Amino acid sequence: MNLILLGAPGAGKGTQAVKIAQKHGIPHISTGDIFRKNIKEQTPIGVVAKSYIDKGQLVPDEVTVEIVRLRLMEEDAQKGFLLDGFPRNIEQAKALDKFASVDTVINIDVRLDALCERICGRRVCGKCGKSFHITTMTSEFCDECGEKLIHRDDDQPETVNARLAVYAKSTQPLIDYYKEQGKLESVDGMKKIDEVFEEISKVLSK
């Protein structure tokens, strides 16, 4: 099963991706997570990525596409994969078409006005990446691994606006791109986490 999760920043892609990957036994490949790991380890890719991520811009396609191409060649991705945060523009989608086939694209649909509130209030585990929200979290530490929760630099309001603008201009056109290929399935991302997951599970069991 080769899947793509589409959706604006804050739509809940990361949260749903973990659940889908676990249920279907496929690797969850998040380009954002790969970049954050590289930034933490101060690799050359991390240094380049940070300069774009901090401004809410997309990391150049040459870098991003190559990272995904290499990741999909790994053993665990041969039985299927779930891409989260890639592709983010038509160029990346066309590049992906050259080295992988895609079965289904799940678009998590969330109203624009809800996105900013969701992202700005998001706190993530610095170790496992699990997401929390300031309105519902009960501790400053991750309930999975005990690590302190952090407010991502690119989740600050100024950067969030830039990221939403990039989404509208570059990523949203992918909805039509995959609709025309008959691969798009949209789910209502305004519902509760478990309800969204149920909707996704229904789509995938078709």
* Interaction site with ligand AMP (CB under 6 A): 9, 31-32, 35, 52-53, 56-59, 64, 85-86, 88, 92, 154, 163
C-alpha dihedral sign at 186, 124, 156, 117: positive
Clarify whether 88 is annotated catalytic.
yes
Clarify whether 13 is annotated catalytic.
yes
- Cβ atoms of 89 and 170 within 8 Å: the answer is yes
Clarify whether 163 is annotated catalytic.
yes
One of 13, 36, 118, 123 is an active-site residue; which one? 13
**Closest residue to bound ligand AMP by CB:** 32
The residue among 73 and 165 lying less far from ligand AMP, judged by its C-beta, is: 165
The residue among 155 and 185 lying less far from ligand AMP, judged by its C-beta, is: 155
Cα 62 to Cα 49, 74, 128, 169, distances in angstroms:
12, 19, 27, 19
Least distance to ligand AMP, CB of residue 205, Å: 26
One of 36, 50, 122, 123 is an active-site residue; which one? 122
- Cβ atoms of 159 and 55 within 8 Å: the answer is yes
The residue among 171 and 197 lying less far from ligand AMP, judged by its C-beta, is: 171
* Nearest alpha carbon to residue 58 among 71, 49, 47: 49
The residue among 10 and 199 lying less far from ligand AMP, judged by its C-beta, is: 10
- Cβ atoms of 12 and 114 within 8 Å: the answer is no
Cα 161 to Cα 2, 115, 193, distances in angstroms:
31, 10, 24
Phi-psi region of 129 (alpha: psi -120 to 50; beta: other; left: phi over 0): left
One of 36, 88, 118, 123 is an active-site residue; which one? 88
Clarify whether 206 is annotated catalytic.
no
Least distance to ligand AMP, CB of residue 155, Å: 9
Q: Which residues are catalytic?
A: 13, 88, 122, 152, 163
